[in-house]
């Protein structure tokens, strides 16, 4: 399965949920806004949102600074 993540095409051997993708990148889901095929996904549905071949995902991480 091929998914585009933040503009880069990535291959995965098995189907996965949005939460599994976030975990694969070692990101904290509480600090993310996620877009799937140009639509914002609600945080409480990450685990239930299954990805499909050809999906486009944007992982936008909030970082504090000053």
Is 47 among the domain residues?
Answer: yes
The whole-number pLDDT of residue 26 equals: 95
Query: In angstroms, rounded to a whole number, what is the distance separating the alpha carbons of residues 4 and 15?
Result: 14
Q: What is the mean pLDDT of each run of 10 residues along the chain (66 residues)?
A: 96 93 94 96 96 97 77
The whole-number pLDDT of residue 66 equals: 62
Query: In angstroms, rounded to a whole number, what is the distance separating the alpha carbons of residues 18 and 28?
Result: 12
**Where residue 36 sits, what CATH number does that domain have?**
3.10.20.30
First to last CA, the chain: 39
Range of the domain at 53: 2-61
Query: In angstroms, rounded to a whole number, what is the distance separating the alpha carbons of residues 13 and 8?
Result: 17
Domain count, the chain: 1
CA-CA-CA-CA torsion sign (18, 20, 9, 11): negative
The whole-number pLDDT of residue 64 equals: 74
Is 66 among the domain residues?
Answer: no
pTM: 0.89
């Amino acid at each position: 399965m091929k998914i585009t993540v933040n503009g880069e095409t990535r291959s995965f051997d098995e189907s996965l949920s949005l939460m599994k993708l976030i975990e694969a990148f070692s990101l904290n889901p509480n600090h993310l806004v996620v877009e799937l095929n140009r639509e914002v996904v609600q945080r409480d549905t990450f685990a239930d949102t299954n990805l499909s071949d050809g999906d486009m995902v944007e992982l936008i991480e909030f970082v504090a600074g000053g």
